């Protein structure tokens, strides 16, 4: 079976990128990481990729006069590495509707909440302020509206008395590092397919996604 050719976009250390790279290091994993691309020259994740023999690409947004020119350069770099699927992993640029359409249903992101709750920023602070007892993370296909799109998989984590935004974020990051590779694998295996604005999960993969609702 041909592997899904993936490009990962980052802006910083790229811990979710690292989780995807490590998962793809298993020969049985159905996707291969063709490149890691950052818009920031100081992104530590680029060195992580280089150390593992993965092409590490800088497309500095400051070097382009417009968002359209920047995104065209990003797409050109991805295509040069034969990428046919894109994962956002801490990419701190809002991508345009044109870029999303160019990669329609081939662009996913991970968000630190159980969408549709807590879209946007400061998710942990808002969850703690509301006193919720359960939060989590979501892998979803990207749409023009921020933090909206067909949901591939979610993982839940408990909110513990005395949690701070930092402690909650750390617990959630552990779940993210498990969930993102699972979601990519299900997509690459054809077990998670977009159907309109939802994602159908194959019957033999339902148990795999459901177990994340008791993630710790």
Which of the residues are catalytic?
Answer: 111
Dist CA 62 CA 40 (whole Å): 9
C-alpha dist (Å) from residue 111 to 59, 96, 146, 198? 23, 18, 10, 17
Task: Please report, for the chain, how many H helices and E strands are present, in that order.
Answer: 7, 9
Cα 126–chain centre separation: 21
For 182-207, give one letter per residue: b (16+ CB within 10 A) or e. Answer: bbbbbbbbebbebeeeebebeeebee
Spell out the alpha helix ranges (H) of the chain. Answer: 15-24, 44-51, 67-80, 97-102, 123-130, 165-188, 206-210
């Amino acid at each position: 079976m041909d592997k899904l050719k993936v490009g990962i976009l980052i802006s910083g250390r790229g811990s979710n990128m690292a989780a995807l790279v490590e998962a793809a290091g298993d020969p049985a994993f159905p996707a291969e990481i063709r490149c890691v691309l950052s818009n920031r020259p100081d992104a530590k994740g680029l060195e992580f990729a280089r150390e593992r023999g993965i092409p590490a690409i800088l497309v500095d947004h400051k070097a382009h006069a417009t968002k359209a020119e920047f995104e065209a350069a990003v797409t050109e770099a991805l295509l040069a590495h034969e990428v046919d699927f894109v994962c956002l992993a801490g990419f701190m640029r809002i991508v345009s509707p044109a870029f999303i359409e160019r990669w329609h249903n081939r662009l996913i992101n991970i968000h630190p909440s159980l969408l549709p709750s807590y879209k946007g920023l400061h998710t942990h602070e808002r969850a703690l302020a509301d006193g919720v007892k359960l939060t989590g993370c979501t892998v979803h296909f990207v749409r023009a509206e921020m933090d909206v799109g067909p949901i591939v998989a979610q993982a839940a984590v408990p909110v513990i008395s005395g949690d701070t935004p930092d402690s909650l974020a750390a617990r959630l990051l552990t779940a993210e590092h498990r969930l993102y590779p699972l979601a990519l694998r299900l997509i690459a295996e054809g077990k998670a397919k977009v159907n309109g604005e939802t994602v159908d999960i194959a019957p033999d993969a339902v148990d795999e996604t459901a177990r994340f609702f008791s993630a710790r």
